[in-house]
Structures are given as structure tokens and as C-alpha cells.
């Protein structure tokens, strides 16, 4: 059981699983960093995106991976409009209102999903779902390799977008200095909506990468978002690098925890790492002081 | 024929404030082309309220604000910046997490984008200290450097009128001197400036005209050289 070969396999599998966590957490941390709110609708929106992937496959036969551009674009537009039409409009710029609104949106979406899609477990069937390659003792499923690579690539593109483009710079500017941004002619409300849209687009990507090996029910979002909350706090609220590293760390912890303690108890490792890190660095791995 | 324009900025009977509290109770003020106009007044006189209403951060209760002949009262800040009315705010308000260069680039987010590279070079020449700190996060700069950066960011938008809100606040006497020299230099290039200051002596020395704001009203106005000799002003602001 403690054979190094098996440990390495566990680490590799954990890293691969972490890719999804990273995407979900990056979206959450972006929204937190810019809007200074916890997006309570995150899990429900992930679930909605997963259903979108499922129905695209079932009704049009579109492969989940090929659906990625459609679902990502659709998720961005959905997030943008949700902020513009509802969250931004009704919050009157007050953080606590945004908080309550996102929670309300989440409740509505969850119950609408239950009403329209039913509570049954739905899966996408793809021929490559069981394919894997073997490296030593490690047995690496192809869909997980793809999701890992795609998650890294998406983070890279997002990082470049934030560093190089005017919109990316404006997002970072608004995150820290709204008044200064307004006086530079930046439309702060629009930047909020774009940030929210990008956060949701990350969920769209995660949904496409998840569906070949996962199932969807109206409750599917929760499992991932709980982990994402942990990741965001662990990495440092609002930090991209923190969310990315935190996501992989959680993936590995979960995988090794499962290996050592059994599948049922594997999640304990996450809480343990979480408590340990916050004990020694309360701002999280890459968090700055308030 | 184009309508007659008296000035770049023309504020008429402006009433403004926050919520139910009226702070400005009928303010009239103009800035002509190529002019430096000083707006003086003690803390709480309503100087920043006036600025922020001109810049579109708040909607005035009443009165007019005309920029280049167009009424801009209550217009969104993005459109006011687009028109070329740019404010360098009190407290600098630079983006602490962005590099000096990125801060400057965002100065041309809404306006002046086609000449961004050229203007970056111009600002870097104007403030050699910023060039030395080019890739450093703005939050690590000293107060004086941040003030230069805030002005540089304002210039990147190719202003037709630049409002400087307390540019000398918190600077060492030597830097204050430097700041006023710079303001004079910006104006010799033809830029109209509204200089909002508590530093009465130096502001009057550099400005063409000045207004003194007290309790939300213009208490005194006129040529800067004449105001500098005004016994009332000397008594309340200079103590002699």
C-alpha cells in the first residue's frame, strides 16, 4: 500500500482530478477578487452548465469536448446577463445585497432544475470514457488527462488575458481601486459584469471537462463548490496562483487520502490540510494582508 | 457658425451634495482655454464635491455644468472622460496592484488610445522617476511618485481640461515646489487646468484666476494676483 509506485500513481491521479477544482476555484476567486463577494450561485451555475453539456450531447449528439467553445461562450453570456440584468441592478452597489441575490439565484436555479430536469442521474456516454494509458503502476484515464491539460491551458490563456489586454488590466484595476478606475473612464459596472461572466465561463469549461466521466443531478454542483470554497480560502482569497496551486493540492490530498484511509474517508485529508494551512498562514498560501 | 463659447468649463448655479445633505449651494465658476484656475478653500468647503460632480461620479441636484459648450451635468463618468475632462483625484487613487506602465496604459483606456505609445514616452520623459520604476507595482511607490503617476495617468487620456485635486497634499516641501513647477509647465503647453488646493500662496502664484469656496458658495473670486493682496483672504488663510 505504501509502495512508492502506488504513491506516485496516487499523486498523478490527484493532480489530474485537481484540474477541475482549479477551474471552478479560479472562477470563484475572480468573482471574489473583483466584486468582493462570495458567489453563492457558483454550484448551481456549474450544475446548469453540466446539464447544458448533457443536453447538447443528447439532443444534438455533440461531444462534450467539442461543446467546450459553445458552453464557455454561452456561460459567459449567461453570467454577464445575470449580473447586468439581475445581480447588479438589484444590489444597488451593496455587497450584502449581492450576497443575498446570488444565494437567491442559486435556490431558484436548483429548484427549477429539479422541476424541469427531474432528480434522476444523467450521464453522457462517450466511447473513450474508459480509455487509459499506463505509466509504470499509474493507470491514467484519458478523459482526466484531457481535463488536466485543458484546465492548465485555460488558466494560462486567462492569465495572459488578465496581464496583457486592456480589459484584463481594467478588471485588476477595478478589483483594487474602483474610484480611480471610474476617473480613468473605466465603466466599472460593465467590468463587474464581465468578471462575473468570465467566472461563469470557467464553470462552463469545467462542465465540459467533467461530463465524459461524471454524472449530473440538480445537486451536482455542491460537491465541487464546497471543494472550490476550500481551495479559494486555502490559496488566499482573490489570488489566481493560489486558486491554481490550491486546486491541485486539494486534488492530490484527496487522492492520497483515499489511498491511505479508503475512499470514504479520503475527504478528511482536505479538511486536515485546510486547517493546518490556516493555522500557520491565516491569509492562505498566496493571500495578501487585508 | 459654431455657438459662442466663453470657456472650456462653465459651472452655473450648481447645487450638489450627498443624499439629503446639500453641500454646494449655487456655485458659479468658469475655466477658460489655456487658463490655470485655482479653487481654494478649507477642508469641508465642498471642493471635492464640486470635482466629483463635474467628473460625473455624482448627479448634481441642480444647475448646469458645460464642457466645451455641452451640458454634462449628470452624465456618466465614462462619457466625461471620453470628452476629455479628466480628474486627477485627491489621494492619487493609483492602481496599487498594477505596474507603473499598466497604470499609465489604463489612463488611455477610454481616450487617447491611438497615440498610447507616443504618450507613454512623453510621460516617461516628463517624469524620469516613473521610467525608473516602470515595471514596479504602483503600491510600492512613494507618495510623491504616486502623485506623478496619477498625473501621468491623467495626461495619457489627452485631457482638454485637467482637474488636479490637492496635488501637493502629503508631499515634502521640496516636492511641493517641484509639483507646482510641473503644473506651470503643463499649462505652458496650452492645457487648461483647474487646480483645487489648500496651499493658497503657491496656488495663487501660479494661477491666472482663483475662486475661494466657503460653505458651499463662492466667497471670493478674481485675478490671482489681486486675490493674493486681498486682506480678507490673507486674514482667513494666511493669518496676517
CATH of residue B84's domain is 3.40.50.300
Predicted confidence (pLDDT) per residue in A224-236, tens digit: 888 888 899 888 8
Over residues A189-206, mean pLDDT? 97
User: Nearest Cβ partner of B89 from A166, A169, A183?
Assistant: A183
- Residue of chain A with shortest Cα separation from B81: A185
Q: What is the pLDDT of residue A290?
A: 45
Interface of A with B in 94-153 (CB under 8 A): none
- Contact state of A176 with B110 under an 8 Å Cβ cutoff: no
Instruction: Tell me if B18 is assigned to some domain.
Output: no
Chain B residues closer than 8 Å to A176 by CB: 95-97
- Hey, are the CB atoms on B102 and A186 less than 8 Å from each other? no
Residue B197 located in a structural domain: yes
Residue for grid cell 474508459: A130
Q: How many CB atoms lie within 10 A of CB B100?
A: 30
CA nearest neighbour of B41 among B143, B165, B161: B165
A186 contacts in chain B (CB < 8 Å): 78, 106, 109-110
- The pLDDT value given to residue B133: 97
Residues with Cβ within 8 Å of A265's Cβ and at least 6 positions away in sequence, in order, are A257, A258
In a domain, B161, yes or no: yes
Assigned C-alpha cell, A157? 490563456
Report the pLDDT value the prediction gives residue A264, as an integer from 0 to 100.
Answer: 77
Using DSSP bridges, classify how beta strands B9-18 and B62-67 pair: parallel, antiparallel or unpaired: antiparallel
Cα distances from B26 to residues A259, B10, B13, B65, B68, in angstroms, run: 75, 13, 4, 12, 21
- Mean pLDDT, chain A, integer: 91
Residue B53 contacts residue B213 (beta carbons within 8 Å):
no
Nearest 5°: the CA angle A33, A39, A45 is 125
Number of domains making up chain B: 1
Question: Which pLDDT score, from 0 to 100, does residue A1 have?
Answer: 56
**Class of residue B221 by CB neighbours under 10 A (exposed 0-12, middle 13-18, buried 19+):** middle
The average pLDDT across A198-220 equals 96
Which of A177, A182, A184 lies at the smallest CB-CB distance from B57?
Answer: A182
Q: Does A36 touch chain B (CB under 8 A)?
A: no
Q: Phi first, then psi: what are they for B131, rounded to 5°?
A: -60, -40
Question: Pick from B95, B102, B111: which is nearest to A180 by CB?
Answer: B95
Mean pLDDT computed over A261-281: 84
Is residue A137 predicted with pLDDT exceeding 80?
no
Is the Cβ pair A183, B81 closer than 8 Å? yes
Q: Which residue of A has its CA nearest to B164?
A: A183
Question: Alpha helix locations (H) across chain A?
Answer: 4-35, 42-60, 68-82, 88-91, 95-117, 142-164, 166-176, 178-183, 188-210, 220-235, 240-261, 268-280
- Indicate the residue of A169, A177, A183 with minimum beta-carbon distance to B87: A183
Residue B1 has a pLDDT of 45
Pairing mode of beta strands A122-123, A215-216: antiparallel
Arithmetic mean of pLDDT, A156-161: 95
CA proximity to B227, closest of B37, B53, B56: B37
Would you say residue A219 has pLDDT above 80? yes
| Fold of the CATH domain A4-280 | ABC transporter involved in vitamin B12 uptake, BtuC (1.10.3470)
Region of residue A135 (phi > 0: left; psi between -120 and 50: alpha; otherwise: beta) = beta
Output the CA torsion B216→B78→B145→B164 (10° steps): -30
Which of these, A15, A20, A13, lies nearest to A50 by C-alpha position?
Answer: A20
pLDDT at position B239, please?
A: 67
Give the strands of the sheet with B21-31, arranged side by side.
B21-31, B9-18, B62-67, B70-71
Q: What confidence tier does A265 reach under pLDDT thresholds 50, 70, 90?
A: confident
**Predicted local distance difference test score (pLDDT) of residue B2:** 47
pLDDT less than 50: residues of chain B? 1-4
Q: Given CB atoms, is B178 within the 8 Å cutoff of chain A?
A: no
Q: How confident is the model at residue A277 (pLDDT cuts 50, 70, 90)?
A: confident
Query: By residue range, what is the domain housing residue B157?
Result: 34-56+75-238
Those of residues 162-181 in A touching chain B at CB distance below 8 A are: 166, 169-170, 172-173, 175-177, 179-181
Question: Hey, are the CB atoms on A179 and B94 less than 8 Å from each other?
Answer: no
B58 shares contact with chain A (CB less than 8 Å): no
What is the pLDDT, as a whole number, of residue A289?
Answer: 53
Read off the pLDDT of each residue in A190-217 and give the average, rounded to a whole number: 96
Examine residue B43 and state whether it is found in any structural domain, yes or no: yes
Ordered DSSP codes for A83-151: IIIIIHHHHTT-HHHHHHHHHHHHHHHHHHHHHHH-SS-EE---TTTT-EEEETTEEEEHHHHHHHHHH
Sign of the alpha-carbon torsion through A139, A142, A147, A149: positive
Are residues A177 and B93, on separate chains, in Cβ contact within 8 Å?
yes
Do residue B110 and residue A185 have CB atoms under 8 angstroms apart? yes
Indicate whether A36 pLDDT > 90.
no
Judge whether B222 lies within some domain. yes
- Per-residue pLDDT tens digits for A48-58: 999 999 999 99
Rounded to an integer, what distance in angstroms lies between the CA atom of residue B110 and that of residue B116? 11
| B78: chain A residues, CB-CB within 8 Å | 182, 185-187
For the cut 80, the answer to whether the pLDDT of residue A113 exceeds it is: yes
Q: CA B54 to CA A218: how far, in whole Å?
A: 50
Q: How confident is the model at residue A274 (pLDDT cuts 50, 70, 90)?
A: confident
Q: In whole angstroms, give the CA distance from residue A200 to residue A140.
A: 28
> Cell numbers of B113, please?
488610445
Beta bridge partners of B10: B30, B66
Amino acid at each position: 500500500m505504501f509502495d512508492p509506485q502506488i504513491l506516485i500513481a496516487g499523486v498523478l491521479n490527484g493532480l489530474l482530478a485537481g484540474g477541475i477544482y482549479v477551474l471552478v476555484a479560479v472562477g470563484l476567486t475572480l468573482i471574489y477578487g473583483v466584486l468582493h463577494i462570495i458567489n453563492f450561485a457558483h454550484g448551481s451555475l456549474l450544475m446548469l452548465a453540466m446539464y447544458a453539456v448533457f443536453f447538447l450531447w443528447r439532443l444534438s449528439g455533440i461531444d462534450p469536448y467539442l461543446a467546450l467553445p459553445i458552453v464557455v461562450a454561452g456561460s459567459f453570456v449567461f453570467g454577464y446577463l445575470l449580473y447586468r440584468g439581475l445581480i447588479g441592478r438589484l444590489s444597488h452597489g451593496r455587497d450584502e445585497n449581492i450576497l443575498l441575490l446570488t444565494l437567491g439565484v442559486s435556490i431558484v436555479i436548483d429548484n427549477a432544475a429539479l422541476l424541469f430536469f427531474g432528480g434522476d442521474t444523467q450521464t453522457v456516454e462517450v466511447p473513450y470514457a474508459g480509455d487509459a494509458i499506463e505509466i509504470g503502476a499509474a493507470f491514467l484515464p484519458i478523459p482526466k488527462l484531457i481535463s488536466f491539460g485543458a484546465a492548465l491551458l485555460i488558466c494560462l490563456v486567462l492569465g495572459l488575458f488578465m496581464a496583457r489586454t486592456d480589459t484584463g488590466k481594467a478588471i485588476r484595476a477595478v478589483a483594487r481601486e474602483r474610484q480611480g478606475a471610474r476617473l480613468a473612464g473605466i465603466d466599472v459596472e460593465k467590468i463587474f459584469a464581465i468578471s462575473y461572466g468570465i467566472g461563469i465561463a470557467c464553470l462552463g469549461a469545467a462542465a465540459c471537462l467533467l461530463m465524459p466521466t461524471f454524472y449530473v443531478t440538480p445537486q451536482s454542483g455542491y460537491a465541487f463548490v464546497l471543494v472550490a470554497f476550500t481551495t479559494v480560502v486555502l490559496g488566499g482569497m482573490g489570488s489566481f496562483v493560489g486558486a491554481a496551486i490550491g486546486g491541485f493540492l486539494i486534488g492530490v490530498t484527496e487522492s492520497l487520502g483515499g489511498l491511505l484511509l479508503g475512499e470514504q474517508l479520503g475527504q478528511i485529508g482536505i479538511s486536515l490540510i485546510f486547517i493546518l494551512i490556516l493555522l500557520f498562514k491565516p491569509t492562505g498560501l498566496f493571500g495578501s494582508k487585508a | 457658425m459654431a455657438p459662442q463659447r466663453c470657456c472650456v468649463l462653465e459651472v452655473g448655479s450648481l447645487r450638489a451634495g450627498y443624499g439629503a445633505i446639500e453641500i454646494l449651494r449655487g456655485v458659479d465658476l468658469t475655466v477658460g482655454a489655456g487658463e490655470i484656475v485655482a479653487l481654494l478653500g478649507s477642508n469641508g468647503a465642498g471642493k471635492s464635491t464640486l470635482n466629483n460632480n463635474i467628473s460625473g461620479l455624482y448627479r448634481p441636484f441642480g444647475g448646469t455644468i458645460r464642457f466645451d459648450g455641452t451640458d454634462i451635468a449628470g452624465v456618466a463618468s465614462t462619457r466625461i472622460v471620453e470628452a476629455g475632462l479628466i480628474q486627477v483625484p485627491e489621494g492619487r487613487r493609483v492602481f496599487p496592484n498594477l505596474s507603473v506602465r499598466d497604470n499609465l496604459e489604463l489612463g488611455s483606456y477610454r481616450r487617447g488610445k491611438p497615440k498610447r505609445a507616443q504618450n507613454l514616452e512623453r510621460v516617461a520623459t516628463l517624469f524620469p522617476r516613473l521610467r525608473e520604476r516602470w515595471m514596479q507595482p504602483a503600491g510600492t511607490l512613494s507618495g510623491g511618485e504616486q502623485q506623478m503617476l496619477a498625473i501621468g495617468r491623467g495626461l495619457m487620456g489627452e485631457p482638454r481640461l485637467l482637474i488636479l485635486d490637492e496635488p501637493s497634499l502629503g508631499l515634502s516641501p521640496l516636492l511641493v515646489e517641484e509639483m507646482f513647477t510641473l503644473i506651470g509647465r503643463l499649462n505652458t503647453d496650452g492645457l487648461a487646468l483647474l487646480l483645487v488646493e489648500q496651499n493658497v500662496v503657491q496656488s495663487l502664484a501660479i494661477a491666472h484666476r482663483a475662486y475661494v469656496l466657503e460653505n458651499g458658495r463662492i466667497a471670493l473670486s478674481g485675478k490671482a494676483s489681486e486675490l493674493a493682496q486681498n486682506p480678507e483672504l490673507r486674514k482667513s488663510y494666511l493669518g496676517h
